[in-house]
Structure 1
Amino acid sequence: MTTDTPARLLQLLSLLQTPREWPGGELSERLGVSRRTVRRDIDRLRELGYPVQASKGADGGYRLVAGKAMPPLVLDDEEAVAIAVGLRAGAGHALEGVDEASVRALAKLEQVLPSRLRHRVATLQAATTPLTSGDGASIAPETLTVMASTVAGRERLRFAYRAKDGAESRRVVEPYRLVSTGRRWYLVAYDLDRGDWRTFRVDRVDSPFATGTRFAPRELPTGSAAEYLRRSMYQRQESYAFTVTFDAAAEAVAARVPGWLGVPEAIGDGRCRLRGAVGDTMEWLAVRLALLGFDFTVQEPEELAQCVRELGGRLVRAGGGEGEPGGGGAG
C-alpha cells in the first residue's frame, strides 16, 4: 500500500498516461488503496490541471484526455531514455522541424535525468549511426543544450570560436536565440568584447560554458533573430538573394515556408512573392522550394532558375518521361 500521497499521485498519473481506460477497481488494486481514495486522488489531479475523464457504470473507469494546457508529464526510465535519444539524434544535425523548442526540451530533460539514465542515453547514441545525407554540419548535442539553457536562463555564455578563415578566438556573449536554417544551427548573440550583435555558426563553436552571470536582455536591431541572421549573412556575402513567385495565396505558402527562408507577400490574383537570402547551395534551395508543393517561378537569380530546370528535367526522366518538363517550373 502506498501511504505517501505525493508518491501515490505520481504513480496514479503514470498509469493514467498510458493510452487506455483504467477501471476504478484496477486502480485501487494497483495503488493498494480504497476506491474512495482513488476518487479523491483523481480530484487532486484535476485540481492540478490534469484533464481526467471518468466514465459511468458499475465499475467506472478513468482516462487522461487532451486538455487546454500541457500539464507536466511523468516518464518511466525507458520512455525518458527513448525521448532523450531521439532529441539528441535530431539536435546533432540542423534538421528542419527540430528547432530551438526541441533543443530546449532536450536541455530540460537532460537536466533532470538521473546519472544512470544519462549513461544509457550516451551509450545508445555512441552505439548508433544516423542515416543522414552527410552534407550538414554535425554538432554535439551537449553544445546545443548548453546554449539553449543560457538563452532560456538569460545567462552569459563563454566559448572558443573558429572563424571562416580559420582564426580562433575566445568569446563572451549574451545569447539571444538559436536559429536553424535547415542544415545548420546559428547563435544570435550580443558580443561583449565587440560591443555589438553577432551571429555564430554553432558547428564552429568549441567548449561552450555557462558562466552563471545573468543579464538583462537587449533589444535586437531587427524584429526577429531569423531576420537578423539573414541580413548578417547577406552583408558578409555568405548568402545570395532570390525572388520567387508562387501560384498560391500568401497564407497557404506561409504555412509551409520556414521562417528563416522569408515571409511571402501577396501580389494579387491569388499569387504571392517570396524574397530571401540563403547561405546553402542553389541545388539545395531548388529542392526545398519544390518540396513546398506549389507551382512557382524563379525571378532571380538565373543560376537558381537553371538549377530548377535541371532538377525538373532529371525528375521527369526518372519518372519515365522524356525531355524537359512542361509548365511553369521556372522562368
Structure 2
Amino acid sequence: MPKTSARLLSLLSLLQTRRDWPGQVLAERLEVSARTVRRDVDRLRELGYPIAAAKGPDGGYRLDAGTELPPLLFDDEQAVALAVALQAAATTGVGIEEDAARALATVRQVMPARLRHRIDMLRFTAVERPAVRPGPPVDGKVLMQVSAAVRAGEVLRFDYASGPRAAASGAGPAAEPVPRRVEPHHLVTWCGRWYLVAWDLDRGDWRTFRADRMTPRSPTGPRFAPRDVPGGEVAAFVTRRFQGYDESGGRPCRGEVILDLPASTVSPYTHDGLVEELGPDRCRLVLGSWSWTGLATAIGRFDADVEVVGPPELKEAFAHLARRYTRAAGPRLRAADERSASPTGGTRTEG
C-alpha cells in the first residue's frame, strides 16, 4: 500500500481528471479499501478541497468548486502548458500583465528542475492579433529546440517544408523540404500560428518561418553576434511584415488609379492611401499593398469603373485577375459575355 501522502496525491490527481468517481472504482485504482478512500477524502477536505459525496449503492465523489483556491496538482505537460499560457497572457495588453507575470513566477517556483528548465528554454513574443481560425498544431519539441537556439544564440539548421503557394508554383505537395541556415532571434505567435524571426544566412535578409513547417537538425551551428531587428522591436517588425510594409515603412507595391466614385465614398476605406477629388463623382486614388495582385484586388472592391494611371505592373495585375475571373465564371457565362461584347450585339442570355 502506498504511503498516505503519496496516496492522497494520487487520489487528488484522479479527482481532477473527471467529474464523478464511484467510490469502488477509486478504491480499485488506488488498491485500497473503500473505507480508506473515505478517510483520504476527509483528509483532502481538511486541506481545503471541496469534495462532494453522493450517497447510495452507486455513490461516489466529485471535486467541486469552492470558495477559495486550494493547492492544485498538475502533470508535467499540464504544468508546461500553463506556464506557456501565462507567458502569453503577460503580453496581451488587457490589464492582466502583472497578475500573469506573478502567477508564472509562482508556478515556476514550485516546479521541479526538469520542468523549470523546459519553460526557461521556451521564450517567445506574442504579437496581438485575433486569429480567424486556430493555426496548425506545432510539435512542442520543435518549439523547445527553436527557443533553445534563440536563447543560446546559435545558428539553427532545419528543413523547411513548402506551403500551398510554393506547391502551386511547381514544387508539388510531395517536394523535398528545403534546408535552411539562420541566425534565430525571436519566436513569435501571430494569428494563432508560431513563427521564427531570423536572419537567413544564405539569402542575406530577415525572414519569418512557420514553426509547423520546420524540422530542426542537430547539432546547432556556431554562436553568432545578435543583429538588431529592423525598427528595434520584434512585435512592430512582425506586424509590418505581415501587413505588407517594406523596411522603409511603406508598401512595396504602390499604384495610382482614377475611380468613378466620389472622394467621400472612397476615403473611409483607404486607411493609408491618398484620395484626391477630381469631380463630384470622380477621384484619384494612390494606394499601396504587399503585391500587385493584392493591390488590384483592393481597388476592385470599390465596384466602380477604374482607369489605371500606373505603373504597368498594376495594369498587368488587373489583366491577370480578369483572366482568372473569366475562367472562374465558367464556359456558359464566358460565351454570353463574349456575345454581349461583340460588334453585332448578340443577345445576352441568363444562365
Same fold, TM-score > 0.5, yes or no: no
- TM-score normalised to the size of structure 1? 0.38
